[in-house]
Amino acid sequence: MGVAERKEREKEVLREQILTAAKTLFLEKGVEKTSIRNIADLIEYSPGSIYHYFKDKNEIFHALHQGGFQQLMGKMEVLITIPNPMSRLKAMGSIYVEFALENPDMYDLMFIKEAPMEHVSNSNDEQWKEGYGTFNFLRATIKECILEGYFQGHDQEALSFMVWSTVHGMVSLHIRRRCEVVLAQRQGTIVKDGLNEFFSILDRPSS
Amino acid sequence: MGVAERKEREKEVLREQILTAAKTLFLEKGVEKTSIRNIADLIEYSPGSIYHYFKDKNEIFHALHQGGFQQLMGKMEVLITIPNPMSRLKAMGSIYVEFALENPDMYDLMFIKEAPMEHVSNSNDEQWKEGYGTFNFLRATIKECILEGYFQGHDQEALSFMVWSTVHGMVSLHIRRRCEVVLAQRQGTIVKDGLNEFFSILDRPSS
DNA sequence: AATGTAATTGAACAGTGTTTAAAAATATAA
DNA sequence: TTATATTTTTAAACACTGTTCAATTACATT
C-alpha cells in the first residue's frame, strides 16, 4: 500500500516546483511585482491550484524565508574553523554582506520586510529560531573578543547589536536603493569599502 | 485680477488635502496597501481628480518623502553651533536616532520602505536633493574629523557611508522589530546603548 | 446671457489576490 | 472490469488595484 506515500512525494514535488518558480520570479522582478498568476504560468498550472499547496502568497514568502535562514547558517558553518575571535568576527561580517548582496530579495524577506505574522505573535519563537541561532553565534564571538582584550570595557550585548546593525545598515541601504547619495564612482564598491572601514575602526586599540 | 491667484491658492489647498490624506493612510496602513481610491474617499473626491494634481501614486509618495527630509534637516540645524567636529558627529548621530524613534513611520517612508519606481522615474536628482543635503553635512563633518586627526588614514566617503549605515541599521532593526533576538531586559534601551557603544568605538585612537 | 476654460466625474481597461463550484484524474472496492 | 469515492485541477467569478479618458459640471471672462 505505497500509494499514499507516492502521492505524498508527488505532492511534495509540486510544492517544490511552486517554491522554485516563486523564488525565480521574486529574484527576477521582485516579490511585490510577482503575481500568483505569474507563478502558475511558469509551472504550467492554473492559479487556483497553487492554493492547494499554500494558504496564500504570504505562506510562499514564509517558506522561502525559513529556507533563507538555513542558507545563511550554512554559509556561516566554515567560521568554526577560525580560532581567532577577531578574525572570525570579520569573516562573519564578510559572509553576512556577501549573502545579502548575492540574495538581496531573500535578505529583504528575512531582515527588511515587515514581518507579516507579527500580530499573531504566538508562533514568533518558532519563526525566529534560526535568527536566534546566528545572533547567538555573533554574541559568543564578541564575548571571546572581549575576553581576549579586543574590546576592553565594552558591553557585550550592545556591542553585538551595534556590529549587526552596521552590516545590516550597509546592505539594507544598498538593497533599498538609498546609496545614490554617495559619490557615483564609489557606488559600485561602497558596501565593501564601508565594511573595510568598519574593520579598520574595530581594529583600533582600546584606549 | 486676483482670480487666477485665488484659483491657484484653491488648487494648492486641494493638493495639500491630498497630501495630508495620503500621509495619514500611508502611515496607517502602508504605502502599498493604500489605494488612490482610499485617498479619494477620505477627501471626498473622485479617484480620477487626484490625477489632476499628481502624475501618479509615486509622485504623492515623493512629495511626502521630501517633506520628511525637510523635517530632519530642521532638527539638524542646531549642529552648526558645535565647533568640534567629533562632538558634532556624535550629536548628529543622536539627532538622527531621535528623529527615527520619534517618527518611526516617517523614517520608514524615507529610508526603509521600497521607494516605488525609482528605476523608472528619471528625475532622481531632484528627488534626492534633501537627501544629498544631510549626507553632505555628514561627509563634511567626517572630513573635518579626519583633518583634525580623529580618523587618520581613513576613507572619507566609505567612512561616511559606514557611519550612516550604523545608525540606520540600529533604528531600522528596531522599527522593523528584529530586536527580539537581543536580551529581553535590554530591548528597551538597546538602540541608545548601541549608539553609545558606537561612540566609544569611534573615540578610540587611530593606531 | 453666451462663451471658453478648467475642474470633476464615473465608467472603462487591464491587472491583482483569492474563493469556489464544477470537472477531470486517479485510487479503492465490489 | 466496473462502480464508487477521493483527490487534484481548472475556469470563472469576486472584489480589489492603478490609471486613462470622454463626458459632464462649474465658473470666470467677454
| Over residues A60-82, mean pLDDT | 92
Position A135 scores a pLDDT of 94
Q: How far is the CA of B44 from the C1' of C6 (A)?
A: 19
pLDDT band at B184 (very low <50, low <70, confident <90, very high): very high
Q: What is the pLDDT of residues A110-153, one digit of tens each?
A: 898 875 433 333 344 455 566 678 999 999 999 999 999 999 99
Domains and CATH numbers, chain A: 1-54 (1.10.10.60), 62-203 (1.10.357.10)
Position B120 scores a pLDDT of 33
Cβ-defined contact of A161 to B155 (cutoff 8 Å): no
Cβ-defined contact of B193 to A166 (cutoff 8 Å): no
pLDDT above 50: residue A182: yes
CA distance A165 to chain B (A): 4
Whole-angstrom distance, CA of residue A157 vs CA of residue A114: 24
pLDDT band at A53 (very low <50, low <70, confident <90, very high): very high
Whole-angstrom distance, CA of residue B115 vs CA of residue B109: 8
Judge contact between A137 and A79, C-beta under 8 A: yes
Which has more pLDDT, A51 or B114? A51
| Over residues B129-153, mean pLDDT | 90
**Is A26 in a helix, a strand, or coil?**
helix
Position A65 scores a pLDDT of 84
Q: Of all residues in chain B, what percent carry a pLDDT higher than 90?
A: 66
| Over residues B173-198, mean pLDDT | 94
Position A22 scores a pLDDT of 95
Q: What is the pLDDT of residues B85-120, one digit of tens each?
A: 999 999 999 999 999 999 887 898 889 887 654 433
Nucleotide closest to residue B117 (CA–C1'): D18
| Over residues B20-35, mean pLDDT | 90
B35 interface with A at CB cutoff 8 Å: no
Q: What is the pLDDT of residues A13-40, one digit of tens each?
A: 999 999 999 999 988 888 888 999 999 9
Position A192 scores a pLDDT of 98
Angle between helices B57-76 and B3-29 (to 10 degrees): 90
Tell how far CA B183 is from the center of its chain. 28
Q: How far is the CA of B180 from the C1' of C16 (A)?
A: 34
Q: What is the pLDDT of residues A87-117, one digit of tens each?
A: 999 999 999 999 999 988 889 888 988 754 3
Position A83 scores a pLDDT of 97
**Closest CA relative to residue B205, chosen from B157, B153, B155:** B153
Which has more pLDDT, B192 or B9? B192
**Closest CA relative to residue A199, chosen from A80, A94, A79:** A94
| Over residues B165-182, mean pLDDT | 94
- Residue A48 approaches strand D within 7 Å at CB: yes
pLDDT above 80: residue A177: yes
Q: What is the pLDDT of residues B41-91, one digit of tens each?
A: 999 999 999 999 999 999 999 899 888 888 999 999 999 999 999 999 999
Q: Of all residues in chain B, what percent carry a pLDDT higher than 70?
A: 88
Cell of A14: 509540486
- Residue A46 approaches strand D within 7 Å at CB: yes
Angle between helices A85-102 and A129-147 (to 10 degrees): 150
